[in-house]
A and B are shown apart, each in its own frame.
Chain A
Amino acid sequence: MWQATGVRRLSIARSVSPGVREGRAWCQRQLGQRAYAGRVIEVRNITKKFGNVAAVNDLSFDAVPGRVTGFLGPNGSGKSTTMRCMLGLDITNGGTATFAGRTYRSIRNPLFEVGALLDAGYVHPGRSGRNHLRWMASSNGIEMTRVDEALELVGLTDAANRRTKGYSLGMKQRLGLAGVMLGDPDTVILDEPANGLDPEGIRWIRDILTYFARGGKTVLVSSHLLAEIALMADDLVVIGKGQLIEQCSVDQFVDRHSNKWTRVGSPDLEGLVAAVGSAATSVSQLDAHHADLFGVTAPQVGELAARSGVVLHELSTQRDSLEEAFLRATADVQEYASNAPTSLPLPPPPAGSTPSQHGAS
């Protein structure tokens, strides 16, 4: 369906901060070393303006088959707008998005090729879940038996005949996913699919998206749940203020934007710190037997400890989470940055009461 294209290109948007540009260049180098078999989703120079405000600005990225691509960005960064532009729901001010070389609007029965869920709330409250899927299936000539199969896949068979106004957000998400699965498409686009799902549901969505990707489908998924993205995504497209910040694998992204340090555990912590000496730029003691060493790698610590004959109970490389890496990477482009204190002071006790009285009441 799609052709092998060799080295992937990354578009460098104009008017971006040096940090962002540097990040892109780094990822471009990394990606250049990886030979993808091909690509299905190609977004090229999409621009979308609302009045004078550019919600998406010259955005380009790819999503490839067999991998889950996480689409990340702070609130208001243009993720949902980009997805709507990709599907032709919003009229762009420039640029194209193609699926296996074709624009979405040129696909005759898209449910067989691209399954999209932009918002689980896009259902008529007076229509039953089954009927919602039936009109979708009917529009693309999908057999009605597939509706029941899809409902079973998402675990909504029992609630299928209930009107959707009685559905919880999680049930609506499942219904939306059933709609995505109707035509068994090669490409899946989901905007915040884990929104409103319970832990079981979140795990289910993670498993099913990973299953899709391992089966060769192209999966593009946006989410605010960074821990979930870290678990399910292979690649990342990170945007901020409508512009591409980086596109690379999750590991590369975290490597680039996170701090690394070495955690050690030893019955002779003092001896170990002395053995490492000036190799570590700083030491943070956790307890009597554990410490974090900065500026020195785990192999270096291991060698130094061996030379000095210090016993090690723990030696591991630590690094920031995807969340921390994401926050660091998007620090310049946060639309709605908060200044919440790290810990809030306790409110004062009521007038005339003593701490012991307050505690006893």
Chain B
Amino acid sequence: MINLLRSEFFKLRTVRLNVWLPLGAVLALMVISAAVSLLSPEPELISNADVMALIGAFSILVAMMTGVATSLGITSEFAHNTIRPTLASTPNRSTVFIAKAIVSALVGLAIGAVAVTTAFLTGSLLLSVRGGDVTLSDDDGSLAAFFGVIILNGLLALFGYGLGLLLRNGPGAVSIIILWPLLIEGILSGVLSVAGVEDPERFMPYGSAFALVIPDSSDVSGGRVWGGLFFGFVALALVVAGIVMNNRRDV
């Protein structure tokens, strides 16, 4: 399994798009954090939660880009038929797909950690130069949101991979990753609301997962833990469904 994990990680990092896409998102988050810290008229009034709220909101883009990268990682295997030499090198399909899922999730967590750390450090450093003072705190939810960004990134990486594995189609998977929060969940919650379901947002995986990156998640239905677990369950379900389907199909 270790050999396989090494091989899959190697595969992921040796395609430029998989590197540039998340790296670009990480840099964008850092630039946004720096810009807000520099341009804020009253830096001394900016709180820990304000900085993390800003980073958390934009970190969703980083997580989506990570999801797109892991999704393209697996769909490109089918598009270029490299899945055949992959499975010819390791014939146990479940092992291969599980190794890919582990690598995707770990890479997602790592990108999330780099993104949130660099963005927060940049923001707090620039604010401190301008007389502000922000640190991570357990009291205002900024610390929880900090780790929430990392976890959301890992989960979205897994979600993107699962979707890609299930669909085997890059454009389709990428469209769903991007359109799901923007369109599909909005329509679904509207339909559920009309159908009389109370507080339908809590049944929307993406929407629930966003509670992970909000410092004050009390106004989000279900809360941080529910949101993370629900989205994690959906991502895992996609991966399992993808593995079952691919074990039964030709490649």
Complex contact A140–B85 (CB within 8 A): no
Give the number of residue pairs across the A-B interface with Cβ within 8 Å: 80
Contacts of A135 in B (CB 8 A): 7-8, 10-11, 14
Q: Min CB distance, A147 to chain B, in Å?
A: 12
A358 to B14, CA, bound (A): 60
Chain B residue at minimum C-beta to C-beta distance from A142: B3
A105 to B250, CA, bound (A): 14
Complex contact B88–A125 (CB within 8 A): no
Pick from B3, B6, B7, B251: contact of A89, CB under 8 Å: B251
A136 touching B249 in the complex, CB below 8 Å, given contacts A125-B80, A126-B16, A127-B15: no
| B169 lies within 8 A of chain A by Cβ | no
Complex contact A91–B91 (CB within 8 A): no
Complex contact B7–A139 (CB within 8 A): yes
| A118 lies within 8 A of chain B by Cβ | yes
| B128 lies within 8 A of chain A by Cβ | no
| B92 lies within 8 A of chain A by Cβ | yes
Complex contact B82–A124 (CB within 8 A): yes
A111 to B76, CA, bound (A): 23
> Digit string of A124-160 for contact with B (CB within 8 Å is 1, else 0)?
1111100100111011110000000000000000000
Q: Min CB distance, A348 to chain B, in Å?
A: 48
Contacts of A124 in B (CB 8 A): 15, 76, 80, 82
A90 to B11, CA, bound (A): 23
A128 touching B81 in the complex, CB below 8 Å, given contacts A104-B91, A138-B7: no
A179 to B4, CA, bound (A): 16
Q: Min CB distance, A220 to chain B, in Å?
A: 14
Complex contact B82–A123 (CB within 8 A): yes
Contacts of B80 in A (CB 8 A): 121-125
Complex contact B14–A128 (CB within 8 A): yes
| A116 lies within 8 A of chain B by Cβ | yes
Complex contact B81–A119 (CB within 8 A): yes
User: Which of B3, B88, B249, B251 has most chain A Cβ within 10 Å?
Assistant: B88
Complex contact B250–A139 (CB within 8 A): no
Question: Which residues of chain B from 194 to 221 have a CB within 8 Å of any chain A CB?
Answer: none
Contacts of B81 in A (CB 8 A): 119, 121-122
Contacts of B3 in A (CB 8 A): 138-141
Complex contact B91–A87 (CB within 8 A): yes
A105 to B91, CA, bound (A): 5
Pick from B14, B17, B76, B89: contact of A139, CB under 8 Å: B89
Chain B residue at minimum C-beta to C-beta distance from A117: B85
Complex contact B82–A118 (CB within 8 A): no
Question: Which residues of chain A from 141 to 191 have a CB within 8 Å of any chain B CB?
Answer: 141, 179
| A110 lies within 8 A of chain B by Cβ | yes
Chain B residue at minimum C-beta to C-beta distance from A137: B7
Contacts of A140 in B (CB 8 A): 3, 89-90
Chain B residue at minimum C-beta to C-beta distance from A81: B250
A134 to B13, CA, bound (A): 12
A165 to B105, CA, bound (A): 29
| A107 lies within 8 A of chain B by Cβ | yes
Complex contact B89–A111 (CB within 8 A): yes
User: Which of A90, A135, A139, A179 has most chain B Cβ within 10 Å?
Assistant: A139
Q: Min CB distance, A111 to chain B, in Å?
A: 6
Q: Min CB distance, B86 to chain A, in Å?
A: 8
Complex contact A105–B92 (CB within 8 A): yes
Chain A residue at minimum C-beta to C-beta distance from B79: A124
A136 touching B89 in the complex, CB below 8 Å, given contacts A84-B250, A91-B249, A122-B80: yes
> Digit string of A92-116 for contact with B (CB within 8 Å is 1, else 0)?
0000000000001111001100001
Chain A residue at minimum C-beta to C-beta distance from B90: A139
> Digit string of A297-328 for contact with B (CB within 8 Å is 1, else 0)?
00000000000000000000000000000000
| A88 lies within 8 A of chain B by Cβ | yes
A131 touching B14 in the complex, CB below 8 Å, given contacts A110-B91, A136-B89: yes
Q: Min CB distance, A176 to chain B, in Å?
A: 8
Question: Which residues of chain B from 19 to 60 have a CB within 8 Å of any chain A CB?
Answer: none
Q: Min CB distance, B14 to chain A, in Å?
A: 4
Chain A residue at minimum C-beta to C-beta distance from B6: A138
Contacts of A139 in B (CB 8 A): 3-4, 7, 86, 89-90
A243 to B84, CA, bound (A): 24
A156 to B15, CA, bound (A): 20
A107 touching B91 in the complex, CB below 8 Å, given contacts A84-B250, A128-B14, A138-B7: yes
A120 to B10, CA, bound (A): 21
Chain B residue at minimum C-beta to C-beta distance from A91: B250
Contacts of A110 in B (CB 8 A): 88-91
A136 to B88, CA, bound (A): 10
Contacts of A136 in B (CB 8 A): 7, 85, 89
Chain B residue at minimum C-beta to C-beta distance from A126: B15
Complex contact B87–A89 (CB within 8 A): yes
A106 to B92, CA, bound (A): 8
Q: Min CB distance, A122 to chain B, in Å?
A: 5
Could you jot down 8 A-B contacts, CB within 8 Å? A89-B250, A91-B248, A105-B92, A125-B80, A128-B14, A135-B8, A139-B4, A141-B3
Given A111-B89, A136-B89, 6 more A-B residue pairs with CB atoms under 8 Å apart are: A88-B91, A90-B250, A123-B80, A135-B11, A135-B14, A139-B3
Q: Tell me the A residues contacting B by CB distance below 8 Å.
A: 84, 87-91, 104-107, 110-111, 116, 118-119, 121-128, 131, 134-136, 138-141, 179
Q: Tell me the B residues contacting A by CB distance below 8 Å.
A: 3-4, 6-8, 10-11, 14-17, 76, 80-82, 84-92, 248-251
Query: Which 6 pairs from chain A and chain B are nearest by CB?
Result: A139-B7, A138-B7, A105-B91, A131-B14, A90-B250, A122-B81
